[in-house]
A and B are shown apart, each in its own frame.
Chain A
Amino acid sequence: MSVFTEERLVPLVAFVLAWLATYLAIQLGKQGKIRIRRIPGLDAIEEAVGRAVEMGRPVFEIVGMGSFTDIYATQTVAGLSILSYVATLSARLGAKMYAPQADVGVMPVAIELVRTAYTTEGKIEELDIDEQLPYLSGEQFAWAGGIIAMAARMKPAANIMVGPFWAESMLFAESFDRAGAMQVGGTARMYQLPFFAAVCDYTLLGEEVFAAGAYVSGDPMQVGTIGAQDWYKIVGFILAIIGALLATAGVPVIGDLLSL
């Protein structure tokens, strides 16, 4: 009996190569040899928080309804990285940040992140956890209804939504737009991307959500790993082109190889 699970040989090889590529990218990143383009949505976060400070209105940061135990855990982690960043900015610049919570497993982590950010900035006395990070509900529309109501009452100047979102994405985007908020929306749930793309001022599409934490950190090593992402995409692109041409010619070798 083989040690390796059947039909997962190619994914395993791809995974190992991803590790190697990431390691190489980290080394190149340390040397400053990897540069990535600006991601307007992420650059706009600081602008959004600044806008909130000038207008004297709050900032909303929504990490979505995902948990750490479902397939959207990676998006939740990405969202929490942005929460940490926005909390740091809000504490530093003096904006009041609200981050309503939907998942009981994520909430303690979010609270700890925000507390750490405010403590680091020396503004811990300005933080009211119960008011600023309230648990609303684990039910989708109860949570959405609560956030929409908060938006209507508080009229935030900025709304940053990065993480996994479901049908409530359209509700949020429209409601915060009506409140006059500048919006940055990002999700890797493709069903909801069109709503963010249509309504938000800036959108993070799919993989940009996963790059967000590395990008805002500014750490050269983390930025280097974004390069690894792009190298893999180029490989995928080449395989897709070659595979499509060969399959059209009746030679499905690439598809068969990838199915091993």
Chain B
Amino acid sequence: MDYRRDIPLAITFLVGVIAVMDYYTTLKSVTDTFTVIKNWGVVLYAFALGIGAVNLFRVHGRRISERRRADWPFSAWLLLMIVMFVVVGLGTGQFETSSQYEWIYNAIYLPIDSTMYASLCFYMSYGAYKILRARNFDAFLLFITAIFVILGNTPLFPATFPVFFHIREWIFGPIVGGAYRGIRIGIGIGAVVLGIRTLVGLETGYLGRR
């Protein structure tokens, strides 16, 4: 018996069966057992949070001490920010209810996060220019659809020519809606079969290929 493989598989099977039974049955014993298992999961995850923080301090601490990489000052900045946010949040109140924490969050994190999200626009613009070329029939269909969707999405054009709005709505309705539903059905079935493979111990990729 390969205990490093068989024990995790047995645990996976047992917990999986309990989870499935909890969903499909109303047995109190099953619900209570699954609640305990879920609580264990929460505790395990809480410990795992510490791993992330320790890893960050270890990796970036090493970079600061070695000073081999040109970007080591950023590692120092990262650790400083982590410490500052934690100290301010814990020291002044319960994080989001602390006005000081709110201030540093709105001054530092909010603009950075918004900027990263906003940068998507530039990636999409260049991607659209590069990709939407009618090289063949399939690409031509994609090109035409994209043109009409962009025309329908741009506030200026539907306001001037309402027909663009209706074309966009039609594309979103039967065409995109139908395609998405088909893909979604496949995804649902695929997830179920993967779950079954995992429960019976066939899918062992997450344990390493033993």
Contact = CB atoms under 8 A, between A and B. Distances in A.
Contact, chains A and B (beta carbon distance below 8 A) = yes
Interface of A: 1-5, 8, 11-12, 15, 18-19, 22, 26, 67, 69, 74-75, 77-78, 80-85, 88, 104-105, 107-109, 112-113, 116-117, 120, 130, 134-135, 138-139, 141, 144-145, 167, 170-171, 173-175, 188, 190, 193, 195, 198-199, 205-211, 213-214, 217, 219, 221-222, 225-226, 228-229, 232-233, 236
Nearest to A80: B206
Contacts of A75: 191
Given A4-B24, A134-B59, A82 B208 contact: no
B101 to A, nearest CB: 16
Interface stretch (B153-161, B164-172, B182-190): B182-190
A229 B23 contact: no
Contacts of B195: 74
B6 to A, nearest CB: 15
A104 B48 contact: yes
In order of increasing CB-CB distance, the 3 nearest A-B pairs are A81-B205, A207-B190, A210-B190
Nearest to B194: A210
A170 B51 contact: no
B49 interface: yes
B203 A81 contact: yes
Given A134-B59, A171-B123, A113 B206 contact: yes
Contacts of A5: 23-26
A213 B202 CA distance: 10
B51 A232 contact: no
A206 B41 contact: no
Nearest to B56: A135
Given A11-B24, A211-B190, A228-B193, A219 B206 contact: no
Interface of B: 20, 23-27, 41, 44-45, 48-49, 51-52, 55-56, 58-59, 62, 112-113, 116-117, 119-120, 123-124, 126-127, 131, 180, 183-187, 189-198, 200, 202-203, 205-210
A15 B123 contact: no
A85 B205 contact: yes
Contact of B117 (A84, A141, A236): A141
Max chain A Cβ within 10 angstroms of own Cβ: one of B45, B189, B194, B209: B194
Contacts of B48: 104-105, 107-108
A1 to B, nearest CB: 7
Given A107-B51, A170-B127, A236-B185, A74 B59 contact: no
A213 to B, nearest CB: 4
A22 B33 CA distance: 27
Given A22-B196, A188-B190, A211-B190, A104 B51 contact: yes
Contact of A206 (B26, B183, B192): B183
11 contacts: A1-B26, A3-B27, A5-B24, A11-B24, A15-B24, A18-B192, A18-B193, A105-B45, A107-B52, A130-B58, A175-B123
A221 B58 contact: no
Given A5-B25, A109-B206, A213-B194, A190 B184 contact: yes
